[in-house]
Every structure is written in C-alpha cells, then in structure tokens.
Chain A
Amino acid sequence: MKKYSTPLIDELEKGPWPSFVTEMKKAAKTNEMSNDAVGHLEKCYATKVGYWKHGGIVGVLGYGGGVIGRYSELGDEFPGVAHFHTVRINQPSGFYYTSAAMKEICDIWDKYGSGLTNVHGSTGDLVLLGTKTDALENIFAEYSSRGWDLGGSGSALRTPSCCLGPSRCEWSNYDTLDLCYALTQEFQDEIHRPMFSYKFKIKMSGCACDCVASIARADMSIIGTWKGDIRIDQAEVANYAKKGMDINAEIIGMCPTQCMSYDGKEIKINNAECNRCMHCITKMTKALRPGTERGATICIGSKAPIVVGSLLSWVIVPFIKVEEPYTEVKDLIRKIWEWWDDNAKPRERIGEVIEMKGMRSFLEGIGQEPIPQQIKEPRKDPFMFYTEEDMVGFKAKEAEEKKTGKYKF
C-alpha cells in the first residue's frame, strides 16, 4: 500500500480533541480506499482545490435515493477514490443501537467500502463514506437482508428523525420515537422514490428544547408542547432558593415573555402569556413541570440557504394531539405535499414557496384556518387575510352604512 506524506493534514491531529484525520489514518492501515482518501485529502489542502464531483446516475435498482454519487477528478492518481459514493442507512428512532447492530453495520461496510463512517449525518442517517459503483447492489442486499434500509436523498422525503423522546426524557410531550417510526413506515415510497420538487425533511422534538434542532433544519418541525398551566411545586421552589439559586435573576429575569413573578416565597406564572420556551422548566426540574394535556406544535418551512436565504419554521398548527395512529398528522403532511407539488418550481423548498405565494395561499391549500398563533415571529402583528368575496361584502356593508348614516368603520 502506498504511503503518503501528509504534513498539512497532520496539523489537524494536534491538540486534545478528537481528529477525523487520525481516524482516517487508522482505517488507511487496512483499507486501500481509505489510504487513497488520506492522500487525496492532503493534495486538496496542498493545492487548495476540492477535486470531488457529486451526483449523477448511481444507486440501487428501483430506489431513487440512499446513495449519493461521489467521484474524484484525480482517479488516476488516487484510484481508491475514483468512485467514493456515500451510502445512507436509515437510522433507528432516537439513534438507539445495540453493539451487535453496530458491529454488523461496520463488518458489512469493511467488506465493501472504505470503512469510514459518519455517525450521524445532519439528516440523521447513519452515513457510510466511500464505496465503488459495482459494490452498491451487494451492499444493499446485505443490509436489507439483515433488516436495514437505505435512507432518503435527492428530491425525496429525507429520513425522518427525532429526539430520544420519552425513552429517556421526562419533558417529552409526545412519543417522538413512535411517531418517527410510524411516519417512516407510512411514507416509504416518498423516501425511496423521489417525487418532489426538492428535499423535504421532517424532524420531531418532544419539547421546545428541540434537541434535534427541528425549528431550523426541518421543512416540517413537530415540536412537543402542552396546553394549560405549568405545574408548580412551591416546596421545591423554596428548596431551590434555600440551596442558593437566585430565582429572580436566573428564572424570572430570563423569562422571554416576562410572565413569571417571585415574591421571595412562591413563583406565580401568568400561563396565558407563557410561550412554552422550557427555560424555567429545564432550570427548576424538581419544581416546575409541563402541563398534563400534551401534544405538539407543527411548524413549516425552515431550511439552510441555497436558492434563497435560510429560514426558520413558521407555526401552522399551534396544538395537535399526537396519538396513534397519527391520522391527523399524516393527512396534514399529504395536504402540504399536494400544495407544494402544485406550486413549486424545481429546487424550491416549501418554505421558499410559502414566502413567494404567501401564507394565505398555503393555508387555503391545506385547509387550515388562519389563527393568531400563526404569526411569523414573536411579538409581531398577526397577518390578516381578505378574499375578493370579503372585499365585496365589506364594500356593500360600508355603502349601506353610509346611506343610513350609521358609520361603524
């Protein structure tokens, strides 16, 4: 195996933190593809050029996603990375694996690929880095025979992902793991057969702490929330104060809506003004807990900047019960896709289409009533919709009232 001199990328091994270069070098000891990947990376740094080409016609028969074609322009110099395709494996809900499952994944990957992995990619999938075109069908056959499946890529529903939810977290307002699994099973076609204008991501968080950052990274963010009052244990509040917590500074003063007060003995919350940000609950875990009527808020449209700038998700359903068999959520998703499909140009994310067509058109398309909670940002005026029919009625009423002299406008 050729030994590459790597003075530039060696710099990335210095310091106390983990280094991907170190890991690549470990893999390179036994794998030709990894070895060439190390040499290739050094050349990229030396010349300040990325030699990678991306995309094209690569995948497994019948699937339109799950494999992302990567090729190097320097295939002659580094034959191990001439083809260096990425394979996405659909991760289990909440990223739970047994050691045996991890070993199984790695053993198959060592057999057909570079041995390099990215656990997990930003989509949530378990990402396998670097294999050749002629190995793809074998890789798919081996993984699928053991119960694994490919994830989404291209203009498809990307592999849904979720936080670990009620499995380990007391704040989860719905079963994120079960919903993630149910949506993955329900929308298999949409994951594996790209049919949209562009990608569509669904991410599920059990509460507003949003551990999977769905508010910024998912076209559809399903974020757990509750209705009603935050539960307060005043005895525990007193304990926090006794142990030295400055409740006014750390809790009351940090409340974004200033809906809380503390008189030195008890906390009071004006729940109507609370925006369920979770700050107080996460700081006073023993004293404060979410309300008992639990569900989720559905937001739409976040994305990173590609065609237009980055967007955060926008509330469209302030509260929805999230219970099996999740019919309401599934129906809403289908309506959203239908409207998007009718209105999007190629490579337009749904958030961009809403920006261009307007929230009114979107809400009408999916059959949602406009409501005050659908404001785009906190403390901004809610928008109002008037249809042509509304205006005709408005003008008729105005004319009538002018005629009778009883002005109400």
Chain B
Amino acid sequence: METAELQDKIFAFCEAAKGKKKLKEKDIIKGVSAELSLEADVVKKAMRGMIDVGRLMYSYGGGASSVEIPSEEYLREKGMIP
C-alpha cells in the first residue's frame, strides 16, 4: 500500500473516533495495522509523518496524551493555512 493511501486510512480511523475516544498512538497503530494487516512499524512511520506535517497532532488532557485531527485554529497558529 502506498504511504499516501495508508495515511488516508489512518486519517479516517482518527476521524471515526473523533468525539468518542481519545486515541493514543498505540491505539492507532494497533487498530490500523489490524484492520489492514500491516506491520505496526509501517503504520507508525506513516502516522508520524502525518504528525510532522500537521495532518495529525498530539493533544494533552488530564495528564494523558493523545493523537487528534488538528483544528483550523491550530493549523493557522502553525502557519499551515492562511
């Protein structure tokens, strides 16, 4: 599977959990690798690529961290959208 396609699947996975569950990195890696029968490391690398360019982001609440889809406000703050 191409990285871009995998990243779309990861994005869809995060979108499905939005508002329902705070996803840890490991939840995404385990969930997507099981769904697509891929190596965990492949999913991890693709997911981190998304975090590096702001397609996903780390969030923090109640002492625990999670991975989320960034808001427009966040992307504007980071200069990724005008």
Contact = CB atoms under 8 A, between A and B. Distances in A.
A121 B40 CA distance: 35
Contact of B65 (A133, A137, A156): A156
A92 interface: no
A56 B61 contact: yes
Interface residues of B, number: 24
Interface string A53-82: 001111101111100110000000000000
A69 B70 CA distance: 16
Contact of A193 (B25, B64, B71, B78): B25
A56 B26 contact: no
B35 interface: no
Interface string A191-210: 00111111100000000000
A155 interface: yes
Contact of A56 (B52, B59, B67, B70): B59
Nearest to B51: A62
A211 B2 CA distance: 51
A346 B24 contact: yes
Given A57-B74, A62-B52, A156-B65, A341 B26 contact: yes
A263 interface: no
* Most central of A59, A61, A137, A346 by chain B CB within 10 Å: A61
B64 A155 contact: yes
B57 interface: yes
Nearest to A67: B60
A381 interface: no
B27 to A, nearest CB: 10
Interface string A154-169: 1110000000000000
Contact of B58 (A68, A193, A198, A199): A193
Which one of A57, A63, A137, A193 has the highest number of Cβ atoms from chain B below 10 Å of its Cβ?
A: A57
B82 interface: no
A134 B77 contact: yes
Nearest to A60: B78
A65 B65 contact: yes
A61 B64 CA distance: 18
A146 interface: no
A63 B64 contact: no
Given A57-B59, A341-B26, A197 B64 contact: yes
Nearest to B25: A195
B63 A199 contact: yes
Q: B52, B60, B61, B67: which has the most chain A beta carbons within 10 Å?
A: B60
18 contacts: A57-B74, A59-B58, A61-B52, A61-B54, A64-B67, A153-B60, A154-B63, A154-B64, A193-B48, A193-B51, A193-B58, A194-B60, A194-B65, A197-B64, A198-B64, A306-B63, A346-B22, A347-B63
Interface of A: 55-59, 61-65, 68-69, 133-134, 137, 153-156, 193-199, 306, 341, 346-347
Nearest 9 interchain pairs by C-beta: A64-B58, A194-B65, A154-B65, A155-B65, A195-B25, A62-B52, A154-B60, A55-B61, A57-B59
Given A68-B60, A137-B78, A197-B64, 20 more contacts: A55-B60, A55-B61, A56-B59, A57-B59, A57-B74, A59-B60, A61-B52, A61-B78, A64-B58, A64-B65, A154-B60, A154-B63, A155-B63, A193-B51, A194-B25, A194-B58, A194-B60, A194-B65, A197-B24, A306-B63
